[in-house]
Amino acid sequence: MTLGMFKVKVLTTFSAAHHLRGYRGDCERLHGHNYRVEVAVASREPGPTGLVMDFRELKDVLESVVERLDHRLLNELDYFKEKNPSAENIARYIFEAVGKALGSEVSLAEVTVWENDTCCVTCTPGPQDRSP
């Protein structure tokens, strides 16, 4: 069996309200979610310390991004003035912000945003963004 990649994941939660513009249904009205966010970084090999990335460091990066969303009306944030604050666009926002904060030390593998216990969206890098 050939070893593939190591993935390191951390989870956090935040609460926020939103409404989906142009959506015909309940979600067009103002409502809130207790979101769960899962972020994974990947590497073929751990670094010199035997770690791909310290859990605590990754969690700190994620928390610094999520605190901008926590207990907010997402529609009022600049990023969501034009984009609907759907789970897809929230995942994209977190993916972009975490990716910027990580730099090139590790490869951001995925961001998953859960709106509830049974519904989630996962955002991954495009093929040109994946490192071998």
Tell the residue number behind the tokens 């969501």, with chain if given: 80
pLDDT band, very low/low/confident/very high, at 129 (cuts 50, 70, 90): low
Q: Which CATH number do you get for residue 27?
A: 3.30.479.10
Report the number of distinct structural domains present in the chain.
1
- AA letter at 127: P
Which residues, in sequence order, are CB contacts of 82 under 8 Å at separation 6+? none
For 93-120, what is each residue's pLDDT tens digit? 999 999 999 977 789 999 999 999 999 9
User: Do 109 and 88 meet the contact criterion of CB atoms below 8 Å apart?
Assistant: no
Better pLDDT: 38 or 5 = 38
Q: How far apart are CA 40 and CA 22, in angstroms?
A: 32
For 85-95, what is each residue's pLDDT tens digit? 999 999 999 99
- Looking at residue 28, its pLDDT comes to 94
Question: Is residue 1 one of the residues assigned to a domain?
Answer: no
- Looking at residue 106, its pLDDT comes to 87
Domain around 38: 6-129
Pairing of strands 72-73, 31-43: unpaired
Question: Is residue 15 one of the residues assigned to a domain?
Answer: yes
Question: Is residue 29 one of the residues assigned to a domain?
Answer: yes
- Looking at residue 132, its pLDDT comes to 43
The token duo for 11 is: 């989870």
Question: Is residue 99 one of the residues assigned to a domain?
Answer: yes
Question: Model pTM?
Answer: 0.92
How high does pLDDT run on average in the chain? 93
User: Do 60 and 27 meet the contact criterion of CB atoms below 8 Å apart?
Assistant: no
Question: Is residue 42 one of the residues assigned to a domain?
Answer: yes
Q: How far apart are CA 52 and CA 102, in angstroms?
A: 13
pLDDT band, very low/low/confident/very high, at 33 (cuts 50, 70, 90): very high
